[in-house]
Amino acid sequence: MKILVLGDVFGPSGVNAIKKYLPKIIKEKKIDFVVLNGENAGDKGVGITKKNTEEFFNAGADVITSGNHIWDEKETMSFIKNEKRLLRPENLIQPSPGIGYGIFNSNNKKKIAVINLMGNVFMKKTEDVFTAAKKFLDKVKLKRDVDFIIVDIHAEITSEKMAMAYLFDGKATLVFGTHTHVPTSDHRIMEKGTAYQTDLGMCGDYNSIIGMNKENSLKRFLKDPSAIKHYPATGLGTISGLMVEADDKTGLANNVKPIITGGLLQERS
């Protein structure tokens, strides 16, 4: 079983990179299931539109996760009610439209649970993320209820992401972090067999400041009065993510490999 997970898709550059490269990656790597984080896909670099979701599904994504910017495009609160393949964080303060996890079928007829969690530190409007994770683990068991489990922990600080990985170690196929838009080099298989990476980085233009136009962002840091509201960089986008080969019998990881394609970043092993 080959699973591909992709970091935050940022603005038009990220969307275009997904449309250009994802179908080719799926074909060449023989990917069975794709999860990407789409909360920054909107034209302004925040939120996700119905059009964005359709573009991602057409490119080969199976599930879209999100995070703290999930409601920045107001239309999302409406269409997410019917689009079960678009997840909002499970631990958002209730009631919130949409769902935080689901069970999906892969193209090779495997049952895959995907849960979207959001960290508590520096985030707003969340219930305790570790309580939500434990409740999920009580309900959904690897190899009892599903063949594989994928966890997106959308969080600001590395310690929350790492702690979540240890909570899920041996109980999930893969735990990956999103939100900070910078790929970490700690991809590995943990002691009990769960694949992990602290942050997948972003899919977008890396000639930027975490996706935003670098000149304008620098002006804002310097408190230059000519600075305007943040807006996305529009150069060539890079796809940044992780491919996991998982064992059909155990549901745990056998191999992990970063996937870096297009734009400025270099693929690393």
Task: List residues with catalytic annotation.
Answer: 69
Q: Give dist(CA 1, CA 17) in Å, integer.
A: 24
Identity of residue 51: K
Of 195, 232, 189, 177, whose CA–CA distance to 43 is shortest? 232
Integer CA distances (angstroms), 178 to 75, 147, 153, 186, 219, in order: 23, 23, 6, 14, 26
Q: Which two tokens stand for residue 150?
A: 């994928």
How many Cα atoms within 13 Å fall on the side-chain side of residue 128? 4
Q: Give dist(CA 261, CA 168) in Å, integer.
A: 29
Task: For the beta carbon of residue 263, count every other beta carbon within 10 angstroms.
Answer: 21
DSSP 132-167: HHHHHHHH--BTTTBSEEEEEEE-SSHHHHHHHHHH
Q: Are 61 and 36 in contact (CB under 8 A)?
A: yes
- In eight-state DSSP terms, residue 201 is -
